[in-house]
Amino acid sequence: MKTRQLGRSGLEVSALGFGCMGLSYAYGPGLSRSAGIQMIREAFNRGVTFFDTAEAYGVLNEEMVGEALAPMRDQVVIATKFGFRNGTASQGMDSRPEHIRAVVETSLQHLQTDRIDLLYQHRVDPAVPIEEVAGAVKELIAQGKVCHFGLSEAGVDSIRRAHAVQPVTALQSEYSLWWREPEHEILPVLEELGIGFVPFSPLGRGFLTGTIDQNTAFSSDDFRNIVPRFTAEARQANQTLVEAIKHMASIRGATPAQIALAWLLAQKPWIVPIPGTTQLHRLEENLAADGVVLGPDDLMQIQEVLTGIPVQGDRYPAHLAVRSGR
């Protein structure tokens, strides 16, 4: 697989990373520990060197990553996140410096490593000045426990203020064919400051693969049950976009997922999407997007389609939307 640098940081990773959240969190029952470890290793064997987890995804998630990658630790980049009280998103934010330090010590144990390659603040904490957060991470970098600092779903002001204290290597936020808000303000600032961009949910939480429609039933513990964009009505309305992507994919001998990922890769050379999956054939399909090259005419055609088909439904319920863009 090709590699990319996250901004001007010098951190080199595979052009496509692997988002580990869904292995055990948010999208239903997930995989067993052994199956999750095997999936991570399958990704590595196919060229992935960039793996994403978080304290908030649960102890099992970080432990899967740590055990899976221990044998090839020096060949991979491991990213994890801090920022929630007791590591639980529903309990609210906590980015106090002392909490950051405690989370890092625990994550190092779970990940079976002596350093975290990329440490993200999971969400901006309005109760703690971002300068204090950046300062705490700067100290951890000086101690060798962290290598790079990242932010997730942060707004322009927070990015600039944090970057002034400790250079930000990457911003992780949602970005895809059906959520393009980062193009307005975020991407220009990242380019100016030399910060890489790591889009999560690059396949629209699975919707852009073309395998979900208005009749799809999610398990009771699947996060999509509370997402406005995934109501049956919204899914039916948004099917028009998927059909257009399917058409473009068929012409190019690709799949809708590959078109969606190739489109992201074509936006900027410092963008590294992190699709996740629990299925080996989907992993292979996603990674093959690295070989799908969209030219100017392709991108123009996609732009015309996106302009003509507005996406229906908010990407988060109101109580979660307030955490983003601070």
Report, as residue numbers or ranges, the catalytic residues: 57
Residues 6+ apart with CB under 8 A from 217: none
Count Cα atoms within 13 angstroms, Cβ side, for 316.
Answer: 12
First CA to last CA distance, the chain:
34
Residue 28, classified by CB atoms within 10 Å of its CB into exposed (0-12), middle (13-18) or buried (19+), is middle
Q: String of b and e for 83-95 (b: at least 16 CB within 10 Å)?
A: bbeebebeeebbb
Residues 6+ apart with CB under 8 A from 146: 104, 115, 116, 119, 137, 140
> What single-letter amino acid sits at 197?
F
Residue 310 is classified by DSSP as P
Count Cα atoms within 13 angstroms, Cβ side, for 135.
Answer: 8
The first and second tokens of residue 19, run together, are: 């988002």
| CB atoms inside a 10 Å sphere around CB 247 | 12
Residue 58, classified by CB atoms within 10 Å of its CB into exposed (0-12), middle (13-18) or buried (19+), is buried
